[in-house]
Amino acid sequence: MHSSRLSPWVLAGHTVLITLLAAGCSQGQRQLPAFSNPVVPGLWTPDRMAEAESIDNPVANDLGEDAGISDPEPRAVPAASEKTPYRDNAAVIGKLFFDTPDGPSVCSGSAVADPARPGASSLVWTAGHCVHAGANGTWFRNIVFVPSYNDEALEGAARGNASQGQVAPFGTWWADYAETSAQWIEQGGPSGGDGAAFDFAVLHVRPPDSSGATSLQETIGQAAPVWFDAPSATRIPAIKAWGYPAASPFDGERMFSCQDRPGRLSVNADQPTLYRIGCTMTGGSSGGGWFAQNTDGALALVSNTSIGPADNTWLAGPRLGADAKKVYDAVSDRFSSGGK
């Protein structure tokens, strides 16, 4: 039983060339190549979005048992479907689409506040593995964020016949800049939990209207604060995670959430512990925001989904400390001079 419960969440055609460098890279670390993420009109149609599959690979069910400080594995918490319309109940949550060498894929993400642009943020928080392949790879392509994806949770024939406006009610927002951690670039891997303690990323996105006149926050009406250096798992009574799980038994078309008292998970004894909660969400929920009540009683982002086991009983995400703030500040600072 939780000592407290969180109430349903209602948070009060050109080419862009991008040079993306991992925040905090020191001498000797791998430098990221520049890549272009040009807007490709008509690429992410409703059908192509529906066909995109999760690239997430599960970790071993007993991960962390011998790797430092890990609390007992939590009980599975069944994922609960989010109330519709999503724009009224979880407006900052959306779905991320991108192309990998193996084809189109999906993750989840959250619109977050920008300290340099109060009330007009265009920043999106997600997992590092949703934008970059890690130690043996590079940046993914055609990265877009779709807030309140499939807003009415259409299914079956209704979803198959849905219009672009029904699937992407606030439009499709192309990333024009991104940062992830230096540690994810150097250590991240597709399986085993490598780099999970630093598996976070921040995107800056551009409006569907090429004029760039309106920010993401102004369009959807919300942007979540980020709570860096939030308390350890033993001092947070409840965390709630949102996302679009896409691996069986889910299909990626609907938003779900899990709430639980967090525990600690250690993947590497020499690195920070992760938050871990019981949750049955599957691949595709990666990158989705984890929220807790901050000292003012407001919900704030404290983590994002990074890894989960093959039996889909729990999820784990990184604690957001100094390295995460460097990534966040680097993206914010780049656009602080007035760029959209």
Q: Which residue has the higher pLDDT, 2 or 130?
A: 130
Checking if the pLDDT of 104 tops 70, the result is yes
Average pLDDT, the chain: 88
pLDDT tens string 249-298? 999 999 999 999 999 999 988 899 999 999 999 999 999 999 999 988 89
What sign does the CA torsion over 225, 226, 229, 233 have? positive
Are 289 and 110 in contact, with CB atoms under 8 Å apart?
A: yes
Band the pLDDT of 103: cuts 50, 70, 90.
Answer: very high
Average pLDDT over residues 216-233: 96
Supply φ then ψ for residue 157, to 5 degrees. Answer: -65, -35
To the nearest 10°, report the CA torsion of 291, 196, 95, 297. 10
Checking if the pLDDT of 24 tops 80, the result is no
Checking if the pLDDT of 329 tops 90, the result is yes
Q: Which residue has the higher pLDDT, 31 or 281?
A: 281
- Please tell me the predicted confidence (pLDDT) of residue 233: 95
- Please tell me the predicted confidence (pLDDT) of residue 62: 75
Q: What CA–CA distance (Å, rounded) separates 316 from 89?
A: 24
Are 195 and 189 in contact, with CB atoms under 8 Å apart?
A: yes
- Please tell me the predicted confidence (pLDDT) of residue 29: 52
- Please tell me the predicted confidence (pLDDT) of residue 66: 63
pLDDT tens string 113-134? 999 999 999 999 999 999 999 9
Q: How far is CA 141 from CA 34, 53, 125, 327, 331, in A?
A: 12, 15, 17, 20, 18
Q: Which residue has the higher pLDDT, 339 or 52?
A: 52
Are 162 and 287 in contact, with CB atoms under 8 Å apart?
A: no
Two structure tokens written together for 245: 């799980």
CATH number of 17-334: 2.40.10.120
**Closest-CA residue to 108 (of 242, 288, 264):** 288
49 exposed, middle or buried (CB, 10 Å; 0-12, 13-18, 19+)? buried
Residue with tokens 């994002």: 304
What sign does the CA torsion over 189, 193, 198, 204 have? positive
- Please tell me the predicted confidence (pLDDT) of residue 336: 85
Average pLDDT over residues 212-222: 91
Residue with tokens 């779905």: 95
Are 281 and 81 in contact, with CB atoms under 8 Å apart?
A: no
Q: What CA–CA distance (Å, rounded) separates 333 from 61?
A: 40
Average pLDDT over residues 47-60: 93
* Cβ within 8 Å of residue 243, ≥6 positions away: 93, 108, 255, 256, 257, 281, 284, 285, 286, 287, 288, 305
Q: What CA–CA distance (Å, rounded) separates 168 from 145?
A: 10
Average pLDDT over residues 61-67: 71
Give me the residue spans of the domains in the chain.
Answer: 17-334
Two structure tokens written together for 51: 């066909």
* Residue 111, SS3 per DSSP: strand
- Measure CA 289 to chain center: 6
pLDDT tens string 149-204? 999 999 999 999 999 999 999 999 999 999 999 999 999 988 889 999 999 999 99
